[in-house]
Amino acid sequence: MPDRSLFPVTTVKDMQNRGWDAPDFVYVCGDAYVDHPSFGAAVIFRTLEAAGYRVAMLAQPNFKNCADFKRFGRPNYGFLVSSGVIDSMVNHYTAAKKRRSSDVYTPGGKAGKRPDRALIVYCRLIREAYGDIPIAVGGVEASLRRFAHYDYWDDRVRPSVLEECGADLLMFGMGERSILVTADWMSRGAPAWECAKMRGVCYKAPSPLHGGVEIPSFEACASSKRQYGEAFLTQYREQDPIRGKAISQRHGDHYIVQTRPDMPLTREELDRTYALPYQRTWHPDYDALGGVPAIEEVQFSIAHTRGCFGSCSFCAITFLQGRIVTTRSHESVLEEARKITQMPGFKGYIHDVGGPTANFRRPACDKQLKSGACAGRQCLFPKPCPNLVVDHTDYIRLLREVRALPKVKKVFVRSGLRYDYIMADKSDAFLRELCQYHVSGQLKVAPEHVSPKVLAVMGKPGRDVYDAFCEKYARINRELGKEQYLVPYLISSHPGSDLAAAIELAEYLRDINHQPEQVQDFYPTPGTLSTCMFYTGFDPRDGKPVFVPRTPHEKAMQRALLQFRRPQNYALVREALRLAHREDLIGTGRNCLVPPEGGKTAAEYAQIRREKKAREERRRLREGKAPKPRHRKPPRPAGRT
């Protein structure tokens, strides 16, 4: 039975056992509490604990009334609120806006333990319970909704979540520094004007912050897509801790003010974060409920890096961790690996040594730490920047050190890898090392699409780069004597993808003989460039129009095209092909995607021939005849799925 004293206080009895009359803070969270550094609540709790604060954890409170929010009594300083690891609406609904049937961040995977728009609901219940007590919100939902934002589920522009939830302060981005500054501000009962001196926070003010920039108001963004795009682009470009400026946006008769983003943690600070006394499992409260399923993906994994300079349009990392990469020391990573080898259930396999992008082990260039990331340029798109420093040597050394530890049989790399960064490396050393030691049969990579117009909108490299990577991966595996394949991640219905682009991707899948088991429909979540394009219909960077698949039926056709071999998709695929005037792809020929109504595909005819041949061989065996000699086809090259 785990020692409850090693975990945060979750009951009044826990509080009494520690001799507390009241906690300093009550931390309200939409997730069940998992004491692991992959979970933001654990990092924030352990950071506050190390600073000497008393924090009670109110995880997944009953949100039907305010009674549960009074569990610990009135805290000395105030409430800290987060909806959890992901936005509560994303947690609850699929890209098709269908309700999810489970929640991996809840004991037993049970759905329904948190409300929609959790920050708003939790803060209102706290106000009902304690009136004007100080409240600070943070986490993903707060970070990505800090200004007026398009809400996919309501299909409208909503105001800042700080405006809607009624909290006093909003923390955005990585929170180890900002939580301590906020805790100090709340504990002193400091005035609101002090917030202007803090980094990484948003607050309400009667006027814009002097020296910053003002973006179009909430009211303007809600009524004009052009002004919405202008507001978003300013936020996107100022999201830098070195060159970025404070931003103000009017909401009615006052302003939401965002101070400058906080600097990334230094290596020493990051090491201290991961050295905190995490128990690397869920709270004992959940043992009888079957535990928290989300731990399974990360229990034996290690994050060695933060930040990403990849800048994919559909990714919100820019608004959360920033574009400047920082990394942990080898000693810190190895110490965590040693702890993992001592855990119950460890069978010798480290599941990942990764991060937002596993093979980024340094800033994109030396000037990023002096001047910040470039406002109008990307490090890898459309081509790698001439200033980009491509270096995998430190990551290779780190992986070698981890796999050399006692009790470690195999170290996998399962986080995302930027294959264009690998291709920009003049040396094959990393890819060879990866294939030889850190892949088990399949390597998952993310070309996302093959159509040039879609890739340009996504901020991803051209198909030629992916094809070259496939060939290099195949060559190295042949040289190593390994049969290992690539599994591409793909997105359907992304802005820029019309039926012609979806058909181009389907033809590519036909040519490489790959049938995706799962396809990710584009999900317009707050805080991404792609979501801005989805809402406005243009790219805010240049004002050019972007085609957007909007209707459920159009999205269904694009998704079906990526899984054209499934019989249940035939009708949708035929409809899409006819709309695009590509009837040449309907038929029984080798290049066709689907058969005509009532017909069979070339693949189905091939299966019929195989079954006929098998029946013939069984007949010959029954009659005592030797089977016909087989003429084997040469094996497919590795890298083709």
φ, ψ for residue 150 (rounded to 5)? -75, 130
Q: Can you say whether the dihedral through the CA atoms of 357, 362, 364, 368 is positive or negative?
A: positive
The mean pLDDT of 625-631, rounded to a whole number, is 63
Q: What was the pLDDT predicted at 1?
A: 61
Domain boundaries for CATH 3.30.750.200 within the chain: 441-641
Name the CATH superfamily housing domain 4-203: Cobalamin-binding domain (3.40.50.280)
606 pLDDT exceeds 80? no
- pTM, full prediction: 0.91
CATH architecture of 441-641: 2-Layer Sandwich (3.30)
Query: Whole-angstrom Cα distance, residue 537 to residue 292?
Result: 40
Q: What is the dihedral of CA 377, 380, 382, 383, to 10 degrees?
A: 110
Nearest to 391 by CA among 432, 418, 415, 425: 425
- Evaluate whether 24 touches 76 at the Cβ level (below 8 Å): yes
- Evaluate whether 162 touches 143 at the Cβ level (below 8 Å): no
Q: What is the dihedral of CA 445, 310, 543, 500, to 10 degrees?
A: -10
Query: Whole-angstrom Cα distance, residue 242 to residue 239?
Result: 9
Length of the chain, in residues: 641
Quick one: tokens of 392?
């995998």
Could you read off the pLDDT of 328-368 as tens digits, one per residue?
A: 999 999 999 999 999 999 999 999 999 999 999 999 999 99
Q: What was the pLDDT predicted at 313?
A: 96
- Evaluate whether 78 touches 136 at the Cβ level (below 8 Å): yes
Mean pLDDT score of the chain, rounded to an integer? 94
Angle between helix axes 267-274 and 176-187 (nearest 10 degrees) is: 80
Could you read off the pLDDT of 49-60 as tens digits, one per residue?
A: 999 999 999 999
**What percent of the chain lies above the pLDDT cut of 90?**
88
- Evaluate whether 519 touches 492 at the Cβ level (below 8 Å): yes
The mean pLDDT of 104-108, rounded to a whole number, is 97
The mean pLDDT of 34-48, rounded to a whole number, is 97
Quick one: tokens of 518?
């799962």
Query: Whole-angstrom Cα distance, residue 204 to residue 202?
Result: 7
Q: What was the pLDDT predicted at 598?
A: 78
Could you read off the pLDDT of 59-93 as tens digits, one per residue?
A: 999 999 999 999 999 999 999 999 999 999 999 99
625 pLDDT exceeds 80? no
- Sort strands 149-151 and 349-350 into parallel, antiparallel or unpaired: unpaired
- Sort strands 281-282 and 34-35 into parallel, antiparallel or unpaired: antiparallel
Domain boundaries for CATH 3.40.50.280 within the chain: 4-203
Q: What was the pLDDT predicted at 6?
A: 94
